[in-house]
């Protein structure tokens, strides 16, 4: 990480600082929330934030039910990022395992994985989630799994291609000569060679996964009220844009901020490792 930060543009360093602040918010949201995020007060509904002349009791104002926007933003950020991280790990693990085995073993297993990849890319993800919601319900664990499965094919395709180029290397052939098991060859000798590219892809995919969670909540098939997520907050405020725009704009700004910062960091990681590989 120190090498990546060296000579990085100022904007990347700013993004790292902002992202660190968001992660602290996620970790300590329970201590930072001034109110219960689900507590309603109809007498205080649609209060403006303090920078628009509102009261200091509600720094970011209140929503259509009088719930404190700051508390819901802190809680919603934790839920949305937590779901995105878990989904990223699920999709990454599933895709890496399929990509490793498909590239190494080849044959019918490789053809089957390629068929699954093509199937995943040809079916709208929203349709898959709708079917999953009908069968398994709208619980947060179910949505986490389906959000993770949204991008597994990108990891499988990349890892498969890297394994195909690495399995003919001399160190892999030497491991085979010493009767190393396929599992040992894959995870001891091949996986370390693809780990860097995987880290970059995970970072670049995180904004897309976060936006998937937000878009599902926005259209009403994601996490259900009163649980706050960033997408659910944006969707809940769309009917109040003319009289209380902060209900949607505040969580939308958080989504854009997190996605932009992580995308910028991922591009910096990609450029850094591409240069290192070219020098080698």
Residue by residue, DSSP assigns 28-50 as THHHH-SS-TT---GGGTTPPPG
| Cβ atoms within 10 Å, residue 142 | 15
At 6 the pLDDT is 63
H or E element that contains 120: helix 107-122
Degrees, nearest 5: CA angle 95-223-216: 60
Four-CA torsion 184, 189, 191, 197, nearest 10 degrees: 180
Distance CA 125, CA 177 (A): 44
For the segment 259-280, the average pLDDT, to the nearest whole number, is 70
Residue 1 — very low, low, confident or very high, per pLDDT cuts 50/70/90?
low
Please, are residues 159 and 198 in contact by the beta-carbon 8 Å criterion?
A: yes
At 98 the pLDDT is 92
Residue 113 — very low, low, confident or very high, per pLDDT cuts 50/70/90?
very high
Strands (DSSP E) found in 152-240: none
Query: Which of 39-48, 123-132, 246-255 is predicted with the least confidence, judged by mean pLDDT?
Result: 123-132
| Cβ atoms within 10 Å, residue 156 | 27
List pLDDT tens digits, range 150-164: 788 888 998 998 888
For the segment 97-102, the average pLDDT, to the nearest whole number, is 92
Residue 96 has pLDDT above 60, yes or no: yes
Residue 142 has pLDDT above 90, yes or no: no
List pLDDT tens digits, range 197-243: 888 888 888 888 888 878 887 777 777 777 888 888 888 888 888 88
At 109 the pLDDT is 92
Cis preceding-peptide flag for 226 (omega within 30 of 0): yes
For the segment 11-40, the average pLDDT, to the nearest whole number, is 87
At 211 the pLDDT is 83
């Amino acid at each position: 990480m120190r090498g990546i930060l060296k000579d990085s543009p100022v904007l990347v360093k700013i993004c790292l600082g902002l992202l660190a602040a968001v992660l602290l918010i996620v970790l300590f949201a329970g201590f930072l929330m001034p109110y219960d995020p689900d507590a309603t007060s109809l007498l205080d509904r649609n209060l403006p934030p303090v920078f628009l002349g509102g009261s200091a009791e509600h720094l970011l104002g209140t929503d259509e039910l009088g719930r404190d926007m700051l508390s819901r933003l802190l809680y919603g950020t934790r839920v949305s990022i937590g779901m995105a991280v878990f989904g990223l790990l699920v999709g990454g693990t599933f895709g890496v395992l399929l990509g490793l085995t498909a590239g190494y073993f080849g044959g019918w297993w490789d053809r089957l994985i390629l068929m699954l990849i093509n199937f995943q890319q040809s079916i709208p993800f929203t349709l898959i989630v709708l079917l999953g919601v009908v069968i398994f319900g709208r619980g947060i664990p179910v949505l986490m799994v389906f959000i993770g499965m949204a991008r597994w094919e990108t990891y499988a395709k990349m890892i498969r291609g890297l394994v195909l180029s690495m399995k003919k290397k001399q160190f892999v052939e030497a491991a085979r000569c010493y009767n190393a098991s396929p599992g040992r060859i894959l995870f001891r000798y091949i996986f370390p060679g693809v780990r860097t590219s995987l880290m970059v892809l995970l970072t670049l995919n995180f904004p897309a996964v976060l936006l998937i969670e937000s878009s599902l909540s926005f259209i009403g098939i994601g996490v259900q009220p009163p649980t706050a997520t960033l997408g659910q907050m944006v969707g809940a405020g769309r009917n109040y844009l003319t009289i209380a725009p902060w209900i949607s704009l505040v969580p939308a700004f958080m989504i854009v901020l997190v996605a932009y910062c992580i995308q910028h960091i991922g591009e910096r990681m990609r450029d850094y490792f591409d240069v290192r590989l070219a020098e080698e």
